[in-house]
A and B are shown apart, each in its own frame.
Chain A
């Protein structure tokens, strides 16, 4: 990886995705080695009644340990966290996670924008946001908020996305630091804080 792509002082990588993003995650997560002093939070759209399947699948495939999210779960570097279905996921100042059942935003709960904006406010420049495949506009405003607060933003290359609409929309309305295919995103994650 090129020198200028290495991101340092990162405490959190927040990942958003919708339709088609699971494929990309399943290519990347199993290949990830240990997370160097940062945590990953994954926010993907899914059926409101799907409570555990995604957690179980990622836990099974990932060599990085996965921690379930409950009310006031503490974020610890080195772990992957997955936003539960049917709640918005927010971040508190004391590094705990907060859940919220308020109205769906753009038909989604969890909403990627809501989680990205909340993380941007708490983590500022120590945040990296990555947006994957999907067929709606969720995530674009969130990426803007991350950038405005000094964080880095990454968009999956629409050519490698199953559903290019969501990454395309983000590229149209933000200035991503990187537009990357899945292998490049993996390399970026492995280089963080090195």
Chain B
């Protein structure tokens, strides 16, 4: 494993040379990810790795893509999607126009999950889904809507567990190991690079989904990001987080009401 001081040096140099601030990332996970990249690079010493990061912007970019966690799946936590389908979408459906934001969308699996549910609820035509990530490479994948075919069995099961009743395979075309999702789903998606650490609010939304992103941030950054979401959320809008995440240390109680036991909060004032 790398030393703490080595990790802190990397954080400082990345900030100094590229302006990207990892200083508020949780250390345990970050250290493991950096160590993995360092090992893959076959460096003899950590200073060689540091020197490569400083002098090679292309390598720096690859490193950032590797360090940020980009693992996601369709209909992850089917119970959550079940509640979304049964309880939340009908409430959003009363609006003439629905604005959604997937913050930290990675390769887009959750964005396509949402589009499928909006379509089935008859709401996709009046929705606009903004999906953002700091990593430009994953956004390219997301835009294409191409996912590994081998995952479809699991996703199809998740879809059914989340209350889906259609033939899941009707949403994609299978070809040479890939599943390409129908363009009808991606027509209402807008992808753009956005850094939760340093960028500001860019619109007002009816629902913001940011699942399993805050776990990589320290408490101070979590507070800042939740405040960013608060500024970006319409009154009576919803904020959805990962199943092990909470807003309770970040925002004054009384401003949000938790939706039953789910990690969904409604902004009430």
Contacts and interface: CB of A to CB of B under 8 A. Distances in A.
A70 B1 contact: no
Interface string B7-36: 000000000000000000011110011000
Contacts, number: 62
A84 B214 CA distance: 16
Given A71-B245, A90-B28, A90-B32, A51 B79 contact: yes
Contact of A72 (B69, B212, B219): B219
Interface residues of A, number: 24
Given A51-B79, A101-B71, A71 B214 contact: yes
Nearest to B243: A51
Interface string B71-82: 110001111000
B243 to A, nearest CB: 7
Interface in B77-113: 77-79
A118 interface: yes
Interface string A98-124: 111111000000000010011001100
Given A49-B78, A103-B71, A84 B244 contact: yes
B140 interface: no
A121 B78 CA distance: 35
Interface of A: 49, 51, 69-72, 84, 86-87, 90-93, 98-103, 114, 117-118, 121-122
Interface residues of B, number: 26
Contacts of B216: 100
Contacts of A117: 1
12 contacts: A49-B77, A49-B78, A71-B242, A71-B245, A87-B215, A91-B28, A101-B242, A102-B32, A102-B69, A118-B28, A118-B32, A122-B28
Contacts of A102: 29, 32-33, 69, 71
